[in-house]
Structure 1
Amino acid sequence: MKRVLFLFLLIGFISKAQVKPTIQKDDIVRIETTLASDKMEGRQIFTTGVDSASAFIEKEFSKVGLTYYKGLKNYRQEFVVRNASANNVIGILPGKSKPNEYVVFSSHYDHLGKEENGKDKVYNGANDDASGTTAVIALANYFKELNNNERTIIFVCFTGEEEGGFGSKFFSESINPDDVIAMFNIEMIGTESKWHKNSAYITGFEKSNFGTILQNNLKGSKFRFYEDPYLEENLFYRSDNATLAAYGVPAHTISTSKMDSEPNYHQLSDEVSTLDFDNMTEIIKAIAISSESIVNGKDTPTRVQKIR
């Protein structure tokens, strides 16, 4: 009888203990395949295809249970550019003890659209940047389930990156950069890096200790973050992290794209079939684990030198 009671109490204790959430490959495949499908028509800004992508992301944020960004009545941050309407998609996970300190996870969900003629007309943008957007959605679910973020997390998918970074510029003007502790911008993580599997690089590594924090949090794991090897490409100021970085935010892009030899970059061939989902899942897991000390308020990256 005592043994039965002990087992009963033990089972009850285990059931109440927090089970750390996991990032599942099946979810990554589902989200990525939807975003990069022909039905999204290449997700070019100002098209029905990008509207369909926005609606899908909004639905995913709703399923996670994210709240709305300040002043918004839904997940759409709308703005006008080139005399046309566009929108970012933003969801919030409020912080527990430091709600006015923000950690941003971002990507861009737009791409190049489609061609008028040809057998393959759609620029699916599977790697660029449906892969990053898939990561943002997966991380939103992860941190919602983990439920220990002391700082507020902002999950934002930008539009207009391919046309000049319209969405990230508008977002940056809507927030006080002094309140943003860090920005994890995720761009093209669907293929292996130059170091092969279980690795990625961080742009602007030398501009703050952001990358060092991430490396320290991954000690003992098989994953490795490296410094950007493509400095001549000036990648730090070529993605959606650039605007906030210019204001001094430790805003960095995480990528695996081999910028000197990526055969599908901005090509019709950037399709789901070219992605390594096992490796992509591990990258997203590594981002989640390496960011936890920043999300929970333990670590605060040093600021980037302002240029604005």
Structure 2
Amino acid sequence: MKKTIFITLLFISPFTFSQKINKIINAKEVERIEKVLSADDMKGRAIFTPGIDKAADFISSEFKNAGLKTFNNADVFRQSFIMLKPKRQSVSATADGQVIDEKNIIIVTTKKDLSINDASGFEKASIKSGDNFFNMVFGFISAGKNYVVTVDTAFAKSFPRLQYFTKQVNPSETSVIFILAATAPTTFKIEAGHSFDTLKLANVVGMLPGKSKKDEFVIFSGHYDHLGVGKVVNGDSIYNGANDDAAGTTAVIMLAKYFAKLHNNERTIIFAAFTGEESGGYGSKYFSEQLAPSQVMAMFNIEMIGTDSKWGNNSAYITGYEKTDMGKILQQNLTGSAFTFYPDPYTEQNLFYRSDNATLARLGVPAHTISTSKMDSEPNYHKVSDEMGTLDMNNMAEIIKAIAISSASIVAGKDTPSRVDTSELK
């Protein structure tokens, strides 16, 4: 009799589970949330605009309605922080006694008056021809050390793009100086003056405390900022960002509602909507600094899941798939389903270190981005045409369900993904 009952329960449970998840995660609810986040009245959710504040209010209300707790017992779901906007006032630099042309030196700093030389204790590094240029740049800027980096002249065309990193800087950042030169200088002297404006930003963060493993965290995240209002194209100037990344933020909200309803997570789950991804990943970097990397067991960063992948429906890819065994765990939990997680097919674009998972991944956390975006041919990427009408709500719902189901053993504390080997970044 006991065996019969056990077999019956095994047969019924998946059906009951399926019914429960379908009531919470479905195309109708996906459409409701996506419609609000990508609406014209959000004005493209650019940072420092009323539109992004409106989006933050909406996400906060959804987190509250889901029954989430605020992060670290904060009064509100907004995780506010400041950035500094530098304006260079002066610069002079010499290397081995020769004056460095201003266009060949880029300084990322929070120092009003910076004056250094080769004896100042700055670490010396270089980016050589053939290196992964932007991967190394990100690494130096996020390392928390003072650097003077010589950039090989092979990157002369890309070098001016480093000005991107001087638009806003984190107050806690160290100074990183990039010099475009054929060889690394033996001696140098660099002096620069800057003024700074203070800018306010906010992530939106909620959590579900774990039952038996409260100090072990699983993160679900996406970024809610986009490009705002820009050049008029065919009568439209609003970059709605329906796929990039209202879709990911919609998934985070849906997952919050789902896990809150289950109310059985052994590990603490953190749900984060990041700001500033389009401007340098400032929101995720600030968020990551509030956590001990050793306590983060896994991070599911969700980016652009509104269109089908190169393999069609019921599929998505995981950036950095080979760097941990997290993808294998997720796929194992989906055994018997129609859904497949594939390795990132766009490895040449270095997506693993280009999204909001990057800061924690660089610290060894199994932090991956899940996406369906065809990065070699996505027709609406960073265009005014990235609107809700281009998205597949049914497929989005299936992707979100797949993330929920595949993450179950990690949330329950039964599986722990391996860590990222950070030696390749040194």
TM-score class, shorter-chain normalisation, is over 0.9
Task: Please say if 1:73 is aligned against 2:75.
Answer: yes
Cα deviation code 1:97-128 (max 9, x no counterpart): 00000000000000000026452110000000
Q: 2:398 aligns with which of 282, 286, 294?
A: 282
Cα distance in 2, alignment partners of residues 286 and 141 from structure 1: 15
* Residue identity in the other structure for 1:81: M
Q: Does 1:245 align with 2:361?
A: yes
Alignment partner of 1:99 is 2:99: no
Match of 2:51 in 1: 49
Report Cα offsets for 1:167-219 as digits up to 9, x if no partner: 00000111101000000000000000000000000000000000000010001
Q: Please tell me whether residue 258 in structure 1 is matched to residue 374 in structure 2.
A: yes
Unaligned runs of 5+ in 2: 1-12, 85-197
Q: Tell me which amino acid in the other structure corresponds to 1:155.
A: F
For 1:34, the aligned partner's letter is V
The answer to whether residue 272 in structure 2 is matched with residue 160 in structure 1 is: no
Residues 99-248 of structure 1 aligned to structure 2 (within 5 Å)? 99-115=214-230, 117=232, 119-248=235-364
Q: Aligned to 2:419, what secondary structure does the other structure show?
A: coil
Which entry has the higher C-alpha Rg, 1 or 2? 2
Deviation at 1:20, TM superposition (A): 3.3
Q: Deviations over 1:137-186 (max 9, x none)?
A: 00000001111100000000000000000000000111101000000000
**Structure 1 counterpart SS, 2:57:** helix
Whole-angstrom CA distance in 2 between matches of 1:98 and 1:173 = 21
Kindly provide the CA deviation profile for residues 11-51 of structure 1, in whole angstroms up to 9, marking residues without a partner as x.
xxx9xx98734312111000001000001000001110000
Q: 2: CA distance between counterparts of 1:165 and 1:80?
A: 13
Distance 2:369 2:326 in 1: 11
Structure 1 position 71, deviation (Å) = 4.7
Task: Please name the residue that 2:31 is paired with.
Answer: 29
The AA in structure 1 aligned to 2:365 is V
Which residue does 1:3 correspond to in 2?
none
Letter of the structure 2 residue corresponding to residue 25 of structure 1: A
The code of the aligned residue for 1:20 comes to: K
TM-score by length of 2: 0.67
Give, in whole Å, the separation in 1 of the partners of 2:217 and 2:402: 20
**Which residue of structure 1 aligns with residue 62 of structure 2?**
60
| Contact residue 26 and residue 394 of structure 2 kept, 8 A | no
User: What's the secondary structure of 1:263's corresponding residue?
Assistant: coil
Aligned length: 293
Tell me, in whole angstroms, the C-alpha distance in 2 between the residues paired with 1:86 and 1:241: 19
Higher strand share: 2
How many angstroms apart in 2 are the aligned matches of 1:115 and 1:266? 11
Contact 1:28 1:281 in 2 (8 A): yes
**SS of corresponding position for 2:54:** helix
User: Where does residue 112 of structure 2 map in the other structure?
Assistant: none
Q: Secondary structure at the match of 1:20?
A: helix
- Give the aligned residue type for 1:244: L
CA contact (8 A) 2:275 2:281 kept: yes
Paired with 1:143 and 1:241, the residues of 2 have a C-alpha distance of: 21
What letter matches 2:339 in structure 1? F
CA distance in 1: counterparts of 2:318 and 2:231, whole angstroms: 36
| Map of 1:20 onto structure 2 | 20
Q: CA contact under 8 A between 2:21 and 2:401: conserved in structure 1?
A: no
SS in 2 for 1:182: strand
Give the letter aligned to residue 67 of structure 1.
Answer: K
Partner of 1:171: helix, strand, or coil?
helix
Task: Report Cα offsets for 1:42-83 as digits up to 9, x if no partner.
Answer: 000111000000000000000001001015211011000131
Equivalent residue letter for 2:293: P
Q: Which residue of 1 aligns with 2:125?
A: none
Post-superposition Cα deviations, 1:240-296, rounded to whole Å, max 9, x if no partner, equal 000000010000000000000001000000000000111111000000000000001
Matched, 1:292 2:408: yes
Q: What is the distance in 2 between the residues matched to 1:273 and 1:75?
A: 30
Q: Counterpart of 1:154 in 2: which secondary structure?
A: strand
Distance 2:317 2:306 in 1: 13
Q: Secondary structure at the match of 2:205?
A: strand
Aligned partners of 1:88 and 1:167 also within 8 Å: yes
